[in-house]
Amino acid sequence: MARRQTSLFACCLRAAVALVAGLCVMASPANAAGALNVGVQLEPPNLDPTSGAAAAIDEIVYANIFEGLTRITEDGAAAPALATDWTISADGRVYEFKLRRGVRFHDGSDFDADDVVFTLDRARSATSTNAQRPIFEQIETVTAIDPFTVRITLKQPLGAFPVYLGWGDAVIVSRESAATNASHPIGTGPFKFQRWRKGASVTLVRNDDYWGTRPPLDQINFIFIPDPTAAFAALMAGDVDGFPNYPAAENLALIERDQRFQIVFGAGEGEMLVAINNAKPPFDDIRVRRALNHAIDKQAVIDAGLFGYGTPLGSHFSPHHPAYIDLSNRYIYDPVKARRLLSLAGVGDDFALTLTLPPPAYARRGGEIVAAQLEAVGIDVTVRNLEWAQWLDQVFSNKSYDLTIVSHTEPLDIDIYARDNYYFQYKNEGFNHVIDELRETSDTAQRNQLYGKAQRILANDAVNVWIASSPKIAVWSRDVSGVWADAPLQANDFTKADIANRAPVLAVNAMKPAFPVFAIWLIAATIGAAAVYFSRASPAFLLSRLAGMAATLAAASGVIFLLIEVAPGDPAAFMMGLNADPASIAALKAELGLDQPALVRYFTWIGGLASGDFGVSYTYRVPVADLIAERFWVSLPLALLAFLISTAIGIAAGVMAAALRGRPGGRAIITAAQAGVAVPNFWLAILLVLVFAVGLRWFSAGGFPGWDAGVLSGLKALFLPAIALALPQAAILTQIMRTSMLDVMDNDYIRTARAKGLSQSQVLRRHALRNAMIPVLTILGLQFGFLLAGSIIVENVFYLPGLGRLVFQSIVQRDLIVVKSIVMVLVFIVILTSFFIDLAYGVVDPRLRRRGAS
């Protein structure tokens, strides 16, 4: 019998080794023919550029899926797109556009003047959530003269109107598909939308019916990798072909030495600045603002915040534009002069201010340098770190700040200084007059002169401390060509992009992924085991436990709703961005139901949960239930795989450590377990990536292909994350199992079993192990809940589209309904797990079952 069990164990061990070996040697999915795998740091909240301000939307869809009447070229100029040409009336108010013929939307419908009228009327309507609604409100009428001619009459001249029509906010949409563009975009561009795997990737395929030159690429896969360390690992492991905006500038020196890659430095639109609250004393004194400018060494901040990559600025304008004037030396770094100006302004040694910092790394790193430099001139600085939602609420909306560091990335946004009640709180009628004149001027030379005048006024008034223009740093494989270097917009135009050394195309199933077979088996086994035991438990026991579960869920729902409601930050303001007007924010709040009283929203949410309707995500604009289900079938298999690994290792190691008590082998196991408890799972995850993905290339550095790519492919993607989660938990379980086994082995019935002549293995297996499992079952229940709900960091390291990462994204994006629903689902799973553990106690120890039945 023992020999048979040993043989069975050996067979299982060989099967497990074979499975792992198969995962290691199984080839990673190759690039599709002409497919470009593009790494991007931020996942867009939706895919409709006309309904929000998120730059991540334009980075995927602009010029690829959607097109406007004009398009912005790499040098920032407005060129013909869906309009072949246009004329402007003498007074600058009437534009007549000739439309391109033979253009079709991706759903096969024809493009004509009615689509232009619909798009612009929709953008300027009272219920519009378009981030650039104030621009479109300058339109008086839009008229279709004929199917291919459109006349647009403005309320007043708008010199940059053709440029505005080239922005992502002005792309032309079809009336038939506008409502669903957020989740399934349909445009006229050279690529068609194929699939969006939330949290993982967006796939575009070539539009073979495109009106213009067909793009060389057959497919683009945008892969979401939010963590800079994971981005570097994915690049090194070959999981992506590059990043149009590489998020880890600190690694550029390493990448530069690798002949596989090319680093492309381009001009961007980002102006990093130390914003000053101009209306708040003593910052309303120009001498104080000039003192701050002299007190800050811009190059030191660039070195710290941008790793040395940036062009010093002296005003709010990008250096790549022809109208740029270099004013970076207007206020040279001079701490002595800064002290003198503060003294002249009557600011003494007791001058104190608060530096409020949003979460981006450039702000946090640069903020440390700025604080130190201000303290060097006698200013007492308190640094406050806020999340984006808090920053938008306190700084941007309520103007409750002294100084803050932020980067403005909208193109040609110098006019924000003329806005009433903008968060800088700067007022200068002379500057406003220049901006008014600029808006009415269409002549390029005159516009450039006015831009220059505006820059000088801002610099003279020392409105802010402009630090640097952030460069666009791209890292690409040397096989990639035809991509933009500069970034006049926050977009990635892949119309001319190409990649050499192509591999066969991989078909992408647009259907929902099939459930993994092994997960179904495990769930069925769990339910079956519970059902077997239900027949033995008393009805009173079951009813009491179910009533307790219901009461716990009801209490949890109230606590969860309250905690999330009191959190600072307005979801609508976050979604609309820095340059949105209050009317657009109010329209979005009404659309999302956020203008309703809290009690109404609570009962609406609870009623929906009870009926299976979790509501609609604020950002993704899809049902929350679908969103959770899609992520659940990544997190659940990951948790189960990690649970099986940790349980197998922990129980086996714990039993062995108890059996070898006092021997070198037992001491070695306990030492290893103690080390395992001390190792953070994120550090272990990074180590596994460096060794097995970057070094040996047995696994990919992260990502998840979906279960429709095959169970083995899914298991391979989850194997390293499961190991990173499992080993620290196995170390804990080893210690618990050993302690429990030692307690049991000191009992009289164990000595009796030995006295009967049973071997050590028989004593352990038949008598000690089962009785030692009671405390272990409790730990297993807790560990499963942790593995399912507590894998946020590991999911970020491996950029897995799981529940943990969805919770993190939703908190950052203030998608409150998703956060509430996920937490409720996790609470339910934890309570259900606890219920099953209680039932398992009775299976392991029949005495407990009899107590429960009594």
CATH number at residue 464: 3.10.105.10
Please give the Cα distance from 799 to 701 (Å, whole number).
9
Residue 430 lies in a domain: yes
How many domains, in total, are found in the chain? 3
Residue 705 preceded by cis peptide, ω within 30: no
Tell me if the pTM is above 0.85. Answer: no
Average pLDDT over residues 618-641: 84
Q: Which CATH number do you get for residue 635?
A: 1.10.3720.10
- The domain that holds 90 is classified in CATH as 3.90.76.10
Q: Confirm whether 558 is domain-assigned.
A: no
Q: Tell whether 278 and 132 lie within a shared domain.
A: no
Q: pLDDT averaged over the chain?
A: 84
My answer on whether 164 and 302 are in the same domain is: no
Instruction: Specify whether 307 is located in the same domain as 435.
Output: yes
- Exposure of 432 by Cβ count < 10 A (0-12 exposed, 13-18 middle, 19+ buried)? middle
Kindly provide the b/e burial profile for residues 570-608, where b requires at least 16 CB atoms within 10 angstroms of the residue's own CB: bbbbbbbbbbbbeebbebbbeebebeeeeeebbeebbeb
Kindly state the tokens that stand for 274. 């130390």
Which of 818, 104, 163, 773 shows the shortest CA–CA distance to 442? 163
- Of residues 399, 366, 238, the one with CA closest to residue 299: 366
Q: Compute the distance between CA of residue 82 and CA of residue 112 in angstroms, rounded to an integer.
A: 9
Over residues 519-577, the pLDDT tens digits come to 444 554 555 555 445 445 566 666 777 787 788 888 888 888 888 777 766 777 666 66
Residues near 795 by beta carbon (within 8 Å), at least 6 away in sequence: 635, 721, 802, 804, 805
Top-ranked range on mean pLDDT: pick from 588-592, 676-680, 813-817? 676-680
Among 188, 221, 242, the domain boundary falls at: 188
Q: Residue 842: is its pLDDT beyond 70?
A: no
Q: Answer with the one of 138, 171, 188 that is the final residue of a domain.
A: 188
Residue 421 in this model has a pLDDT that exceeds 50? yes
pLDDT for 164 equals 92
Residue at a domain's end among 188, 221, 250:
188
Collapsing DSSP states into helix, strand and coil, what is residue 39?
strand
Q: Which amino acid is at 704?
A: F
Q: Which helix (H) or strand (E) is 192 found in, with range?
A: strand 191-197
Average pLDDT over residues 612-637: 83
Q: Are residues 171 and 280 both part of a single domain? A: no
Query: Does residue 756 lie in a domain region?
Result: yes
Is residue 469 included in any domain, yes or no?
yes
Select from 112, 109, 90 the least CA-distant residue to 101. 112
Q: Which two tokens stand for residue 730?
A: 């196995």
Q: What is the mean pLDDT of residues 583-590?
A: 72
Q: What is the mean pLDDT of residues 253-264?
A: 91
For 261-300, the pLDDT digits (tens) are 999 998 888 899 999 999 999 999 999 999 999 999 999 9
Instruction: Kindly state whether residue 766 falls inside one of the protein's structural domains.
Output: yes
Q: Are residues 172 and 295 in the same domain?
A: no
Asked if residue 183 and residue 269 are part of one domain, the reply reads no
Q: Give the residue among 219, 820, 119 at the shortest CA–CA distance from 499.
A: 219
639 falls within a domain:
yes
- Domain check: are 271 and 356 in the same one? yes
Name residues whose C-beta falls within 8 Å of residue 707's C-beta, 6 or more positions apart in sequence: 513, 514, 515, 516, 633, 714
Residue 727 lies in a domain: yes
Whole-number Å distance between alpha carbons of 343 and 71: 52
Percent of the chain with pLDDT over 70: 86
In a domain, 759, yes or no: yes
Query: Which residues constitute the domain of residue 848?
Result: 622-853
- Token representation of residue 178: 């506008």
Longest Cα–Cα distance of the chain, Å, equals: 110
Asked if 710 and 847 sit in the same domain, the reply is yes
180 and 269 share one domain: no
Whether 6 shows a pLDDT value over 70: the answer reads: no
Residue 251, φ and ψ in degrees, nearest 5: -100, 0
* pLDDT range class, residue 632, cuts 50, 70, 90: confident
Q: How far is CA 34 from CA 27, 481, 571, in A?
A: 19, 12, 39
Q: Which pLDDT score is estimated for 679?
A: 85
